[in-house]
Structure 1
Amino acid sequence: YNFRWYTSYACPGEPLECIVTDPVTLDQYDLSRLAKSEGGPGGNWYAM
């Protein structure tokens, strides 16, 4: 799959911790577990 995230809320390349807060509801989302597995471009996903 290819994903394109057109948002300022996406995390940088190698975050140690990545939590996003919805400014309206103040709900928090932990995106830290959205990590790329090892294996280079043939891995489970790649940044575009």
Structure 2
Amino acid sequence: EYVVEEFETQLLNYLRATDCEVGLLLNFGKKPEFRRKVFENKRKLRKNPF
């Protein structure tokens, strides 16, 4: 029915674990809503020179 904090936390965990930096939570319940989360992980952006 609604977006809870646990869903947002799970989305951030997915963003940390992947190369994706932007995620969307979509709710099509009684009151449609969405949340956009951005996780910029500079550690992932470094390229290994070897």
Q: TM-score range by the shorter chain?
A: 0.3 to 0.5
Tell me the TM-score normalized by structure 2: 0.34
Tell me the TM-score normalized by structure 1: 0.35
Question: Larger Cα Rg: Structure 1 or Structure 2?
Answer: 2
Higher helix residue share: 2
